[in-house]
Structure 1
Amino acid sequence: MILKNRFETLCLKFTSDHNLIEKFWLEIEKKYSEKSRYYHNLQHLEALFKEVEQVKEMIKNFDTISFSIFYHDVIYDATSKLNEEKSADLAKERLELLGLNNEIIQQVYEQILATKSHQKSENEDCNFLLDADLSVLGKSYEAYSEYTKQIRKEYSIYPDFLYKTGRKKVLKHFLELESIFKTEYFKNKYETQARENIEFELKNL
Structure 2
Amino acid sequence: MNLKEKYTELLANIGFNQETIEQNWFDLEKAYSKKSRHYHNLTHIKDMILSFEMYFDALQFPNEILYSIFYHDYIYVSSKKDNELKSAEYAVSIFTDIKPVGFAKPDKQLVFDAICATQLHQHNAIEDINWLIDFDLKILARDWDEYQIYFEQIRKEYRIYPDFLYKPGRAKALKHFLENDFIFQTATFRDLFEEKARTNIEKEILLLT
TM-score, with structure 2 as normaliser: 0.95
In structure 1, the partner of 2:118 is: 115
**25 and 163 in structure 1: CA distance in 2 versus 1, 3 angstrom threshold:** same
How many residues are treated as equivalent by the alignment?
205
Change (3 A) 1:104 1:151: same
Relative to structure 1, the CA distance from residue 195 to residue 93 in structure 2 (aligned partners, 3 Å threshold; closer, same or farther) is same
Partner of 1:22: 22
Q: Deviations over 1:123-175 (max 9, x none)?
A: 00000000010000011001100000000000000000100111011000000
1:174 counterpart residue number: 177
Residue aligned with 2:110, SS: helix
Letter in 2 for 1:139: R
Paired letter, 1:194: A
Tell whether the 8 Å contact from 2:14 to 2:98 is kept in structure 1 after alignment: yes
In the alignment, structure 1 segments of 5+ residues that lack a partner are: none
- CA gap of 1:98–1:146, structure 2 versus 1, over 3 A, is farther
- Show the counterpart of 2:81: 81
The match for 2:91 is 91
Give the CA deviation at 1:14. Answer: 2.6
Partner of 2:5: 5
Code of the residue aligned with 2:129 in structure 1: it is C
1:51 corresponding residue in structure 2 = 51
- Cα separation, partners in 2 of 1:199 and 1:19, compared to 1, 3 Å: same
CA distance in 2, matches of 1:102, 1:63: 10
Deviation at 1:53, TM superposition (A): 1.1
Structure 1 stretch displaced more, 95-104 or 119-128: 95-104
Q: CA deviation at 1:185?
A: 1.1
Does 1:105 pair with 2:105?
no
Structure 2 equivalent of residue 135 of structure 1: 138
* 2:198 matches 1:204: no
Which shows bigger deviation, 9-18 or 192-201? 9-18
CA distance in 1, matches of 2:82, 2:108: 19
Partner SS, residue 12 of structure 1: helix
Q: Secondary structure at the match of 2:14?
A: coil
Deviation, structure 1 residue 99:
4.6
Shift in Å, 1:204: 0.9
- 8 Å CA contact 1:68–1:111 kept in 2: the answer is yes
Q: Percent identity?
A: 43
Measured on the aligned residues, the alpha-carbon RMSD in Å equals 1.3
Instruction: Find the aligned partners of 2:173 and 2:183 in 1 and give their Cα distance.
Output: 12
Give the direction of change, closer, same or farther, for the CA distance of 1:52–1:89 in structure 2 (3 Å limit): same
SS of residue in 1 equivalent to 2:107: helix
Contact 1:96–1:105 under 8 Å retained in 2: no
